Structure 1
Amino acid sequence: MKELPLREAKRTLSAVVDASEHGEPTMIIGHGRPAAVILSHDEWSRLRSKIPSFVDPLLAMPALAPEDLPGRRPARIGHAGFVD
């Protein structure tokens, strides 16, 4: 992967985008550390499709009946009305 300082990436943005469309992503370095990666939309879509949604596992859980849940003790009220 090619690395470019932010200033050079700004100056050569068209070439950076063209390179990404031909399969060569570019890491942009800002303030001495990696700041961003320019990659093609196709590659971004491919990577994004591999990341599961946070909601998917939750929706896949079986439904629980109230009797399946553990019992709870009532809250204890301490001095000045605060819960211990």
Structure 2
Amino acid sequence: MSTVNLKDAEAGLPELVDKAETGEFITITRHGKPVAALVPVEAAELARKAMAPRPVGLASYLKTFPDLEVERNPAPSRDVDL
């Protein structure tokens, strides 16, 4: 992981993007304090998914599974004489 101050990051952005593209994480500082990070797209997508709101309820949870097809039971839930 590299650390670079904001002024140097502005001047050398193309090179920093190339480094991030190869998998390197770059921390950008302002006045010596970390304020941002330049990361590979894959890492950003993983972080975004980890921060996504969790589904509420069993049905919502099951919908998150890829290629899951559930057939609904056509039978009535109760035996009712009409």
Greater Rg by CA: 1
Identity fraction in percent = 26
SS in 1 for 2:16: helix
User: What TM-score does the superposition give when structure 1 sets the normalisation length?
Assistant: 0.61
Q: In the alignment, which residue of structure 1 is the partner of 2:57?
A: 60
Are 2:39 and 1:42 equivalent residues in the alignment? Answer: no
Q: CA RMSD in A?
A: 1.7
Q: Aligned partner of 1:9: which letter?
A: A
Structure 2: runs of 5 or more not aligned: 59-82
CA distance in 2, matches of 1:20, 1:41: 8
CA distance in 2, matches of 1:36, 1:10: 13
Number of corresponding residues: 58
Matches for 1:1-84 after TM superposition, within 5 Å: 1-53=1-53, 56=55, 59-60=56-57
CA distance in 1, matches of 2:40, 2:52: 21
Q: In the alignment, which residue of structure 2 is the partner of 1:70?
A: none
CA distance in 1, matches of 2:37, 2:52: 21
Question: Which stretches of structure 1, 4 residues or more, deviate above 2 A after TM superposition?
Answer: none
CA distance in 1, matches of 2:52, 2:29: 29
User: What TM-score does the superposition give when structure 2 sets the normalisation length?
Assistant: 0.62
